[in-house]
Chain A
Amino acid sequence: EDQVTQSPEALRLQEGESSSLNCSYTVSGLRGLFWYRQDPGKGPEFLFTLYSAGEEKEKERLKATLTKKESFLHITAPKPEDSATYLCAVQASMDTGRRALTFGSGTRLQVQP
């Protein structure tokens, strides 16, 4: 069974204080690992796809990295508008026949001005 564990559950940062969120995963062959942002009362919003260990993706103040067992979402000099829950999800490899995403519980980030 695919499993995704995210830590910490919640993180409070001061504006400009950089940090990292962790996503560790167990999957029957990884097709892709995905990061989403979820604002309160809204649906998840896609951020990044990572396919192989060593891959990195960047978008504004966010950078996602991937190893064979975990992924990190680095937040550099965050702003209050970065406050949200960040979700990690995995998709198993094509030979499993599964395409559904398995999500983690998320990290709730609060950035204070």
Chain B
Amino acid sequence: EPEVTQTPSHQVTQMGQEVILRCVPISNHLYFYWYRQILGQKVEFLVSFYNNEISEKSEIFDDQFSVERPDGSNFTLKIRSTKLEDSAMYFCASSVGTNTGELFFGEGSRLTVL
């Protein structure tokens, strides 16, 4: 069964460092997303991406965040200068269409900022 894969599974970084989280979406999906879940809190939307551009972003997704699809398979989330409050589980997801709420999530990348 096709799946979304994410790397790394866990990253520990110092405050102020840059972090790149990587995702390989399901191959025939066209829409890609990043969500995050701070420990004990709700899953929150960050950004959606289609046709090589951001289609929607939340207030959380400020100038410190960026996304990129550098090649035909990878989808990355970059945090330029991490803060303590960026510590969370980051989930990549993909879908066939944008009007569907049927998203396929990866297992997540846990980011710990010290």
Contact = CB atoms under 8 A, between A and B. Distances in A.
A12 interface: no
B48 A100 contact: yes
Main secondary structure of the interface of B (DSSP, over half): loop
Given A32-B101, A89-B101, A102-B45, A44 B58 contact: no
Contact of B101 (A34, A42, A105): A34
A42 B91 CA distance: 9
Interface string B75-114: 0000000000000000101000011111111111000000
B91 A101 contact: no
A83 B111 CA distance: 26
B28 interface: no
B45 A46 contact: no
A106 B43 CA distance: 9
A100 B108 contact: no
B42 A100 contact: no
Interface in A83-113: 87, 89, 91, 94, 98-106
Contacts, number: 58
Contact of A100 (B4, B58, B104, B107): B58
A43 B93 contact: yes
Contacts of B105: 43-45
Interface of A: 31-34, 41-46, 49, 87, 89, 91, 94, 98-106
11 contacts: A31-B99, A31-B101, A32-B100, A42-B108, A43-B108, A46-B101, A94-B99, A98-B56, A99-B55, A101-B35, A101-B101
